[in-house]
Homo-oligomer: A and B are copies of this chain.
Amino acid sequence: MTRYAKRIWELVDHSEAHMTAEQIFLELKKEEPKVVQATVYNNLNTLCQKGLIRKLSIEGSPDRYDKIRRHDHLVCKRCGALSDITFEDMTGDLERQMGEGILFYDLKVFYLCPKCREKKEKGVLP
């Protein structure tokens, strides 16, 4: 793995931040001022292919990148805030229903985050 690839992998893997390609680019640029966007996109793509990171497609914002360690996501329906949560692994359950062959799954649970819930209760939001 090249220097850039390694740092990009580390940035994604050691962060809770669910960064976009742009944010990763800006972060990497702090240490490697010469790096260019395409490099970051290229590396993110190959890291995904190799299964070292994963891409999250989130409605209404650019793709985000995430570590692999098994976990699920909570998404606020109203403000889009994204956070990690780990539910019990349900691969077994799903395989019982569809048969073998699951590679992995992606579970997003939509809710109202504490901030938005509060606002809603105060009647600030519909």
Q: Which residues of B contact A105 (CB under 8 A)?
A: 107-110
Assess whether A94 is interfacial by the CB under 8 Å rule.
Answer: yes
Give chain A interface residues in 82-103, CB to chain B under 8 Å: 85, 87-88, 90, 93-94, 97-98, 101-103
Give Cα A97 to B74, complex, Å: 13
Asked if A118 is at the interface (CB within 8 A of a chain B CB), the reply is: no
Return chain B residues, CB-CB under 8 Å to A71.
Answer: none
Q: How far is the CA of A112 from the CA of B97 in the complex (A)?
A: 16
Interface size band for A: 20 to 34
- Are A102 and B107 neighbours in the complex by a CB distance under 8 Å? no
Contact A90 B88 (CB under 8 A): no
Does A57 reach chain B (CB closer than 8 Å)?
Answer: yes
Q: A55-B59, A58-B57, A59-B63 are in contact. Are A77 and B103 (CB under 8 A)?
A: yes
Looking across the interface, which residue of chain B has its beta carbon closest to that of A57? Answer: B57
> Would you call A106 an interface residue if the criterion is a C-beta within 8 Å of the partner chain's C-beta atoms?
yes
**Chain B residues positioned under 8 Å from A63 (CB to CB):** 59
